[in-house]
Amino acid sequence: MNIKIYSKLWKLIPIVVISFSSCTDFLSVTPDNRTEVEGYYTTAQRVDQAVVGTYVDLRRALLSNYSWLMYGEARAADVTVNVDFQPYVAAQRLKVDHYELKQLTDWGYFYDVINSANEVLDIVNTAEPEVLSEYQRTLYRGEALALKSMAYFYLTRIWGDIPSGEASDMGQPLTAAAAVDRAAAYAKEAKDLLPWVLLNDDGIESAALTAVRFNKTAASLLLAQEELWANKGSEALTTLQALFADEASLSGFGLSLGIDRRTEIPETPLSGTMVSMPLDRLNSLYPEGDTRRASLFTVSASQGTATLIVKDQSKLDLLKLGELNLLLAEAYWRSGQLEEAIQYLVTAAEGATEDYTTLSDGTFADALLLERQRLLVGTGQRFFDLVRFGKVSTFVPEFSETDVQNGAAYWPLSESSISGHSLTQSSYWANQQ
């Protein structure tokens, strides 16, 4: 071989070097038929999508199979949902071999909320400084914590002892009390981070947006619920009183409705005659003269039913401002201040036929429970209230007090909830078919 050829070959070396160094670029393909996680959260709008995704998860957890009612009023047999598995739920036959019923015994959707919320926290914590403003950073953290708190609170109210969904102790069992404490700690942190009113994309305060995302009021209501569940009346009182400290405008929280791309959740789950109450039950619950029944139900005497009125089809209220007085009443009562408690209950129960001014320590609980049943109908709280007030065996004829002690008030665990966790079916549900 002559030198000429070698000299030509040497000239090729830079080309070879360049082509080697461009290998990495050539082999890095960003698919445009799907969205990859890595490198996605580069704008505030995209981070916002992840936050919204957590709300959509919560919506799926509570709306699929009408679960918010199945875990609440439907199980307490207060309302009837027009689906074929409702009779099983009302009859406490929660282990029947039925597809939707099995889904209801699975807690996976609530853990999706927790996982998504933790993802949001990760995204916010690791986002480049220029991606999020201070307002957004604080808001998103607050929303994620509040959503997580709500998910844990639902989980423990439905199933009692539950596994942790946090990276530090993933899958480890938490007692019901520890789960509520955890939920309260997140809600407390969220309450401090969240604003009273949220800003829309144009930077203007938006009441409509505030109503469907967590805000300081909603986080405080949630925290108060959790504190009352843990029987911490005075702490709940402090939380609720703080709402009036700086005369801010208060807003509840509801889930905005819309299409979920993953399930067959109806877009407007409360439409039509889907949720109703037998007429005789309505009459016993809201006696003639109770001025609230007309605003809550449409009565069809011919069919013998009363249909729940839904004022806003675009939103499912979960934390209503209307609950504030009830919570204050309970907080005062649990803190030993009966007089204030009665005052708030009377305010809350405006339109009732009963005279609550003469309530005593012994009769207050029943009155409060009744007013909560009346005022919060449709928000899915009834069965939880029965558990909290120790009244399950009183109001649910299928259960004796022993059954409740054996775990009947909680939902059975699905097979997939038991597998992979060191939890066992409660003795009540283990013996049911």
Residues that bind other proteins (CB under 8 A): 1-2, 5, 9, 19, 23-24, 26-29, 31-40, 48-50, 52-57, 59-60, 97, 99, 106-108, 111-116, 118-119, 162-165, 170-171, 208-209, 212-213, 256, 258-262, 314, 414, 416-417, 419-421
Which residue number, 83 or 209, has a Cβ lying nearer to other proteins?
A: 209
CA dihedral 353, 357, 358, 362 (to 10 degrees): 90
The CA distance from 224 to 280, in Å, is 34
To the nearest whole angstrom, how small is the minimum distance from the Cβ of residue 100 to other proteins? 8
What string of H, E and C letters represents the secondary structure of 313-365?
CCEEEEECHHHHHHHHHHHHHHCCCHHHHHHHHHHHCCCCCCCHHHCCHHHHH
Cα–chain center distance at 416:
21
Least distance from C-beta 107 to other proteins, angstroms?
6
CB of 194 to other proteins, least distance (A): 17
Burial class (CB in 10 A: 0-12, 13-18, 19+), 378: buried
Which of these, 262, 263, 308, 301, lies nearest to 279 by C-alpha position? 301
- If the CB atoms of residues 24 and 360 are measured against other proteins, the closer one turns out to be 24
Of 114 and 221, the one with the shorter C-beta distance to other proteins is 114
Closer to other proteins by CB, 84 or 134: give it.
Answer: 84
In the bound state with other proteins, the residue whose beta carbon lies nearer, of 77 and 270, is 270
Least Cβ distance, residue 57 to other proteins (angstroms): 7
Spatial contact of 380 and 291, defined as CB atoms under 8 Å apart: no
Residue with Cβ nearer other proteins (116 or 381)? 116
| Cβ-based neighbours of 79, under 8 Å, separated by 6 or more | 69, 73, 275, 276, 277, 308, 377, 378
- 91 versus 262: smaller Cβ distance to other proteins: 262
Rounded Cα distance, 422 and 173, in Å: 7
Closer by beta carbon to other proteins, 206 or else 432: 206
To other proteins, the closest distance from the beta carbon of 20 in angstroms equals 9
Give whichever of 381 and 417 is closer to other proteins, judged by the CB atom.
Answer: 417
- Single out the residue of 150, 135, 139 nearest to residue 51, CA to CA: 139
Q: How far is the CB of 218 from other proteins (least distance, A)?
A: 15
Q: Least distance from C-beta 205 to other proteins, angstroms?
A: 15
Contact 112, 146 (CB under 8 A): no
Nearest distance from C-beta of residue 409 to other proteins, angstroms: 21
- Cβ atoms < 10 Å from Cβ of 89: 27
Minimum CB–partner distance for residue 380 and other proteins (Å): 20
Query: Contacts from 419-427 at CB under 8 Å and sequence distance 24+?
Result: 420/171, 421/163, 421/171, 421/173, 422/173, 423/161, 423/162, 423/163, 423/173, 426/160
